[in-house]
């Protein structure tokens, strides 16, 4: 009987001391380290083919409609899980050689954890334009409107980007442009 009472007493004391032991251990190891900051994610993009506009763009604003399919590759940064993606984009807007305005663009980005759209699909993000005014771009040279991730991976992150400028685009103010370049880049930032 004494062994039973002694055993019960030891178990009860052990249960009572466990929280104290945990607090002592935490005091010696210090507070938990803060979570690492999320870095920006930068991806190179390439359209399946140059984006063909439904009408030429020149120095005068013109209302256009466009649709494109593209790939994002060589994604670096972030938490390392988003390495490549496919992109489907549709949009309309008023565009000239120097400005975008009054447009509506929506892009669906399907992410993969492997290079060249391989590996496991890890989610779908929806990108929409956003700036001080809906549809405003940071500079005319970027050619890709600033925006944000509406949902999916990288939700609420800011999106900026630009296109690789071609000689035809540099001559836009003297003539017209009917296609947009295939190569571009996108940056996603917290």
Give the C-alpha separation, 34 to 162, whole Å: 34
More reliable by pLDDT, 172 or 75: 75
Q: CB-hemisphere CA count at 13 Å for 154?
A: 33
Instruction: Say yes or no to pLDDT of 159 above 60.
Output: yes
Q: Does the pLDDT of residue 13 top 90, yes or no?
A: no
What are the tens digits of pLDDT across the range 66-115? 788 999 999 999 999 999 999 998 888 887 877 777 778 889 999 999 99
Q: What is the distance, to the nearest Å, from the Cα of residue 176 to the centroid of all Cα atoms in its chain?
A: 32
What percent of the chain has pLDDT above 70?
66
Q: Cα angle vertex 99, ends 93, 103, to 5°?
A: 20
CA dihedral sign, ordered 67, 71, 75, 79:
positive
DSSP type of residue 118? -
Q: What pTM, to 2 d.p., does this model score? A: 0.69
Predicted pLDDT of residue 34: 46
CA distance 190 to 176: 37
Burial of 83 (0-12, 13-18, 19+ CB in 10 A): buried
């Amino acid at each position: 009987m004494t062994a039973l009472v002694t055993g019960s007493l030891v178990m009860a004391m052990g249960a009572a001391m466990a929280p104290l032991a945990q607090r002592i251990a935490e005091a010696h190891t210090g507070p938990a380290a803060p979570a690492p900051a999320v870095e920006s994610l930068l991806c190179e993009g390439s359209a399946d083919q140059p984006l063909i506009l439904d009408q030429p763009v020149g120095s005068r604003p013109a209302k256009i409609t466009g649709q494109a399919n593209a790939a994002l590759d060589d994604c670096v940064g972030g938490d390392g899980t988003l390495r490549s993606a496919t992109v489907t984009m549709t949009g309309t807007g008023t565009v000239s050689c120097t400005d975008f305005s009054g447009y509506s663009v929506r892009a669906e980005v399907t992410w993969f954890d492997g290079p060249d759209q391989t590996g496991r699909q890890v989610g779908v993000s929806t990108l929409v334009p956003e700036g001080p005014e809906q549809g405003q771009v940071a500079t005319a040279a970027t050619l890709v409107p600033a925006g944000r991730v509406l949902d999916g991976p990288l939700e609420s992150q800011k999106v900026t980007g630009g296109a690789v400028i071609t000689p035809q685009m540099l001559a836009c103010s003297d003539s017209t442009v009917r296609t947009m370049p295939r190569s571009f880049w996108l940056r996603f930032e917290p």
